[in-house]
Amino acid sequence: MTDIVSTDWVADHLGDLGVVDVRDAWEYDGIGHLPGAVNIPFDSFRAEEHAAEGSGGANDDSSTGMLPDAEDFEALLGENGIATDDEIVAYDDMHGVFAARFLVTAELLGHDPEKLHLLDGDFSAWQREHETTSDAPGVEATDYVVDPPAESVLVDADAVAAAGDDPETVVVDTREDWEYEEGHVPGAILLDWKDLVDDESRGILPRDEALAVLEERGITPNRRVVLYCNTARRISHTYVVLRHLGFEDLAFYEGSLTEWEEQDRPLETGS
């Protein structure tokens, strides 16, 4: 399970971690970064275009959304010296949402989720408490191998539509309220991903508070939770937080609303 870790935990384990900074290169170079961090900016591990269901050919019913090609991801991690069995910590300066997307991408492409960690409180927490550097790390290229798991949390649009009729399942829209009001998957519940984040510390809410926010909306660990947003970036953060809180039955709609709308599926409006 991808974990959420403190700056002190990262400081204690720095020598044993592949540290991935997903901010833009100018921030990594100009503002500084964690010691030993490599820079893998957000745009570099996303597909250039959204790939909808069936885009891989007539018999392809998979939805790869914004996931990169396996070879591209292998080359990217390999050239940055990240190995297939590395423990990885990722961070950004956006409350963790971009870093979470990196970690979920790695998980979906087969990196052991037990070895994936999100820095709580993002770069700002590290900057307040620990030294940063502008020194480039020494990088030794690796042969990173993508090997997607046989069982995946990925679901397609049909599964999302069917989930709406299942009382054991809750479909969750992690966008902002105005986006939800303009149009959402019928029956979906609104949970802005930032509602689980403390705006000041940029870290996740204390466990009890986070669980209370979720329970208020009927999102409880005994239910299956199906997540979507626009292009699967914001759900990546919610996915990591829910795993951290102990939610076991999660489904990840990579195609998200982009695909849903491309397929002319129904939308509900209003709050």
Ligand X SMILES: O=S(=O)([O-])[S-]
| Cα four-point dihedral sign 212, 255, 81, 142 | positive
- Residues in contact with ligand X by CB under 6 A are 175, 229-234
175/202 with CB nearer ligand X: 175
**Please, which residues have CB within 8 angstroms of residue 151's CB and are 6 or more apart in sequence?**
none
86/254 with CB nearer ligand X: 254
Q: How far is the CB of 256 from ligand X (least distance, A)?
A: 6
Residue (of 152, 149, 164, 193) closest to 260 by Cα position: 164
- The answer to whether residues 232 and 22 touch, using CB atoms and an 8 Å cutoff, is no
80/231 with CB nearer ligand X: 231
Q: How far is the CB of 232 from ligand X (least distance, A)?
A: 5
Q: How far is the CB of 177 from ligand X (least distance, A)?
A: 14
Measure the CA angle with vertex 251, ends 178 and 184; round to 5°. Answer: 25
DSSP per residue over 11-64, as a string? HHHGGGEEEEE-S-HHHHHHT-B-TT-EE--GGGGS-SS-B-TTTT-TT-----
Q: How far is the CB of 17 from ligand X (least distance, A)?
A: 26
Inter-axis angle of helices 70-79 and 97-108, to 10 degrees?
Answer: 120
Q: How far is the CB of 179 from ligand X (least distance, A)?
A: 8
Query: In the numeric block, which tokens belong to residue 22?
Result: 């997903």
33/175 with CB nearer ligand X: 175
211/232 with CB nearer ligand X: 232
